[in-house]
Amino acid sequence: MSDVDAPKDRGGGDETETETSSRDAGRLVYRQKIATRVTHWIWAITLFFMLLSGLQIFMARPDLYIGQQSGFGFDNSILSIGTVQVGGELQGVTTIFGHQFETTGWLGLVPQGDGMARKSFPGWLTIPGYRDLATGRVVHFFFAWVLVATLLVWLIASIANGHLRELVPTWRDLKRLPRDVADHLRLRFRHDGAYNVLQKLSYAGILFVVLPLIVLTGLTMSPGVVAKFPVLLDLFAGRQTARTIHFALMLCLVAFFLVHILMVVLAGPINELRSIITGWYRTAPEKRR
In a domain, 4, yes or no: no
In a domain, 19, yes or no: no
Asked if residue 197 has pLDDT above 50, the reply is yes
In a domain, 283, yes or no: yes
Q: CA-to-CA distance for 225 and 249, rounded, in angstroms?
A: 20
Domain match, 164 and 147 both:
yes
In a domain, 8, yes or no: no
Domain match, 92 and 110 both:
yes
Of residues 258 and 187, more confidently modeled = 258
Domain match, 119 and 72 both:
yes
Backbone CA torsion sign across 132, 133, 136, 142: negative
Last residue of a domain, one of 125, 153, 175: 125
Q: 75-124 pLDDT, tens per residue?
A: 678 999 999 998 889 999 999 998 999 999 999 999 998 889 999 999 99
Q: 145-165 pLDDT, tens per residue?
A: 999 999 999 999 999 999 998
| pLDDT for the residue numbered 11 | 47
The answer to whether 139 and 49 are in contact (CB under 8 A) is yes
Of residues 249 and 70, more confidently modeled = 249
Domain match, 157 and 207 both:
yes
| pLDDT for the residue numbered 76 | 75
Q: CA-to-CA distance for 159 and 157, rounded, in angstroms?
A: 5
| pLDDT for the residue numbered 2 | 44
In a domain, 111, yes or no: yes
Domain match, 54 and 188 both:
yes
> Amino acid letter at 244?
T
Residue 79: domain span: 60-125
Q: CA-to-CA distance for 230 and 226, rounded, in angstroms?
A: 5
Give per-residue burial for 85-121: e unless 16+ CB within 10 Å, then b: eeeeeebbbbbeeeeeeebbebbbbbeeeeebeebbb
Domain match, 140 and 218 both:
yes
Q: CA-to-CA distance for 47 and 50, rounded, in angstroms?
A: 5
Q: How many structural domains does the chain have?
A: 2
Domain match, 114 and 50 both:
no
Let me know the angle formed at the C-alpha of 184 by 209 and 38, rounded to the nearest 5 degrees.
Answer: 45
Asked if residue 72 has pLDDT above 90, the reply is no
Domain match, 110 and 136 both:
no
Last residue of a domain, one of 125, 146, 179: 125
Domain match, 245 and 143 both:
yes
Asked if residue 231 has pLDDT above 80, the reply is yes
| pLDDT for the residue numbered 10 | 46
In a domain, 105, yes or no: yes
Q: Which phi and psi (to 5°) does residue 109 adopt?
A: -135, 110
Domain match, 55 and 69 both:
no
Q: What confidence tier does 17 reach under pLDDT thresholds 50, 70, 90?
A: very low
Last residue of a domain, one of 101, 125, 149: 125
Which of 153, 139, 132 is CA-nearest to residue 46? 139
